Structure 1
Amino acid sequence: MRKSLFAIVAAATLLVPGIAAADSDHGNNDHSDDSYEVGLFGDMPYAAYGREHYPAVLADMNTYDLAFSVFDGDAKNGSEPCYADAHPTDPANPTPENAVADATHPDIYQYALSKWATLKDPLVVLPGDNDWTDCDRTTIQGGRVSDSNDRLAYERTLFYPTDRSLGQRTIKLTRQSAQYPENVRWRKGPVTYIGLNIPGSDNNFSLGGKEGPAAEAQAEYAARNAANLQWLRDGFAAAKADHSRGVMVVIQADMWDPTATVTHYADTKKELFTQTVAFGGPVVLVNGDSHSFEVDKPLTDYATTNAAGAAGANVVENFTRVTTFGEYQNHWVSVTVDPDDPNVFQFHPHIIAANVPTYTPPA
């Protein structure tokens, strides 16, 4: 018998005001009022350590009845080469191909697909910077670089071949276009979900050097950024037209990472601010990239003096950000959407006991 999240006492529960329900195969037009549960994970497996722990994460997710799960990017770490089976490539790509898969180094994208295929419930996958943006870094192990644009095109072919999700059971998705099939939207109950290709590494805006060819990255960023902003606007317009009570946006990048360059997320933050304030209901942003579970409210307005008269901006209070586990913390997060709960939207971290290290006490 499958477990119910409502029976979990040990997991911490965090509440966000306002959101609600749906069903699996109806995808975009499910307006039912039943409660449901969603899985969130990403940034795994990272190297041998992660690959050892990853199966336990997927197995645990399979013990729950999830309406769907979302993988928020990074199916490997940033230093491992982006090994891929031989496939058609663009001869104009400026980066040499030094990461063709072989018996010793299997295709990392096919490996990801094989693991995702073990999930019983629907899975929506978004790209991460380690999967494509960082593939042309000169710091890749052994100098086995590959072209970042090629790897993104390869992901699009493998991960988004139809208008259905991945997983043994699937849901129907609305994809933005043939050019950007990874940008998706679907609805379940009174919640509209939006997935966007916004990766770490400053949204793939490169200044050259260790980050790969600058001109290629900047051209890719400009076109994709425009598409992302339009998809955000389209998603919120759809949410309003459907009378959604809440919106969840899922990306890979931590756009507020204090240790990283985040310059080229400014457009996204402004659009999120505009759309969130105009929407009025609860908006949740899910991201990976920083590898540690956190719930916070980082979005602010552009005031220089806040409502209390102090220096600084006002926090946008109907916006909540959730960062998922990753890297050395191989666990997952679930969301319970319950229309009968005044808060409606609850987050539960799931700590996999087998993946918890032996802690070192003080000397």
Structure 2
Amino acid sequence: MKTFSNKLLMLAAVCSSALAQTTLADDDHHAKGYGKFEFALIGDVPYNEVDYWKFDNVIADINANKKLKWVLHAGDFKNGSSLCSDELFEDRLQRFQTFKKPLIFTPGDNEWTDCHRANNGAYLPLERLDKVRELFYPVPGQTLGQKTMRVETQADDSNHAEFVENTRWMEQHVMFAAVHIVGSNNALAPFATRTSADDEEVVRRIDAALEWVKGTFAKAKAENAHGVLLLFQANPGFELAKNSNSRIGFEEILAEMEREAVDFKKPVIFAHGDSHYVRMDKPMKGSISNRRIENATRVETFGADDVHWLRVSVDPKSKEVFSVHQEIVEKNLEEHPQP
């Protein structure tokens, strides 16, 4: 009987150990070391129905890469002239859930701010925003994907409880955050059925974005992060003249990003989609010195007709921290296979 009890205790210990290892595997994004890792960056996909098969190829390509920690999606999961229907939203969710790795998604303008357009179904944008939050952020602080990951969410702050989409996490002394900044002048573009509620939403969201950016850099400095990456959908016009029409809705946020990047001094990536032009450059100039801010780099994803992905390598011990690699999906260069 004693021998049997001992075996039970040993079995319990093994099970407890296995459970602990599983938990650690799920939460390994909180690791505080300095190891190298990689992740995928996509956006503006799937855009056109005729290219769904290409997006399937991108998903398969990413899923086949065992080194990737997660997938970042920079928003716009549809084009600007297609229906914003529940059915389309549910289709996108199903596609996103085929990623084997955690998927962090930040909303784009095409899935809510522009849904007032007749060819989008003449929806109320704020109603569509509610639907996006309901479907794509069902559990606050938990990512999408077949393997989920716990992240910090701004919804935990009672002052910004609606912003479940603003998330943050640390990996190997590198800080990551997604912040809800969208095209169409950050949802300030006029439309026929616009009301004061639409204007008030923009004010709240910009306030939340400013707080999230500030808090992200404060936490990065407090935890001695070696780099910071901010993910958002809009191209805010980094390189454009201040107060130009294309920067309406973005000026406060751009000013905060500049201040934080200059003060941080270490590598900063601003990752976005929106203009369908893959690039990596340094467009940000200091407002006082008018000098290029060398530690701030913009990375724009593939998107729309160019259905490929970016692989981002992170080495916290290197001077640059981030390096970006184009992953051209060869199958997507071919004609659509005939049925």
* Structure-2-length-normalised TM-score: 0.84
Per the alignment, residue 176 of structure 2 pairs with 193
Instruction: State the one-letter code of the partner of 1:254.
Output: N
Matched-pair contact (CA < 8 Å) for 1:45–1:54? yes
Q: Output aligned runs, 1:149-228, within 5 Å.
A: 149-162=126-139, 163-177=141-155, 178-209=161-192, 212-228=193-209
Quote how far apart the aligned CAs of 1:263 are. 1.3
Quote how far apart the aligned CAs of 1:222 are. 0.7
Whole-angstrom distance in 2 between the partners of 1:283 and 1:53: 31
The change in CA–CA distance for 1:340 and 1:276 in structure 2 (over 3 A counts) is closer
Matched-pair contact (CA < 8 Å) for 1:164–1:172? yes
Whole-angstrom distance in 2 between the partners of 1:247 and 1:147: 35
Matched-pair contact (CA < 8 Å) for 2:74–2:107? yes
Aligned residues: 301
If asked which structure has higher relative contact order (CA below 8 Å, sep 6+), I would say: 1
Per the alignment, residue 9 of structure 1 pairs with none
The equivalent position to 1:127 in structure 2, one of 100, 107, 110, is 107
Matched-pair contact (CA < 8 Å) for 1:206–1:217? no
Instruction: State the one-letter code of the partner of 2:163.
Output: Y
Instruction: State the one-letter code of the partner of 2:292.
Output: V
% identity of equivalent residues? 33
Whole-angstrom distance in 2 between the partners of 1:81 and 1:238: 40
The equivalent position to 1:266 in structure 2, one of 239, 251, 254, is 251
The change in CA–CA distance for 1:342 and 1:224 in structure 2 (over 3 A counts) is closer
Matched-pair contact (CA < 8 Å) for 1:331–1:352? yes
Is 1:297 aligned with 2:282? yes
Deviations 1:62-86 (A, max 9, x none): 11121111101011000101011xx
Per the alignment, residue 61 of structure 2 pairs with 60
Quote how far apart the aligned CAs of 1:340 are. 4.7
Q: Which runs of 4+ in 1 moved over 4 A?
A: 257-260
Per the alignment, residue 19 of structure 1 pairs with none
Matched-pair contact (CA < 8 Å) for 2:116–2:191? no
The change in CA–CA distance for 1:179 and 1:27 in structure 2 (over 3 A counts) is farther
The change in CA–CA distance for 1:332 and 1:260 in structure 2 (over 3 A counts) is farther
Higher helix proportion: 2
Deviations 1:228-258 (A, max 9, x none): 1011111111111111011000000011286
Unaligned runs of 5+ in 1: 1-22, 85-106, 307-312, 359-363
Matched-pair contact (CA < 8 Å) for 2:116–2:124? yes
SS at match of 2:115: helix
SS at match of 1:151: helix
The change in CA–CA distance for 1:150 and 1:57 in structure 2 (over 3 A counts) is same
Superposed CA RMSD:
1.9
Unaligned runs of 5+ in 2: 1-23, 156-160
Q: Output aligned runs, 1:238-317, within 5 Å.
A: 238-256=219-237, 261-303=246-288, 313-317=290-294
Deviations 1:253-301 (A, max 9, x none): 0112869822110011000011111111111000000112100111111
Whole-angstrom distance in 2 between the partners of 1:215 and 1:316: 37
The change in CA–CA distance for 1:125 and 1:31 in structure 2 (over 3 A counts) is same
Quote how far apart the aligned CAs of 1:32 are. 2.3
Higher-Rg member (1/2): 2
Matched-pair contact (CA < 8 Å) for 2:172–2:316? no
Q: Output aligned runs, 1:350-361, within 5 Å.
A: 350-356=327-333
Instruction: State the one-letter code of the partner of 1:220.
Output: E
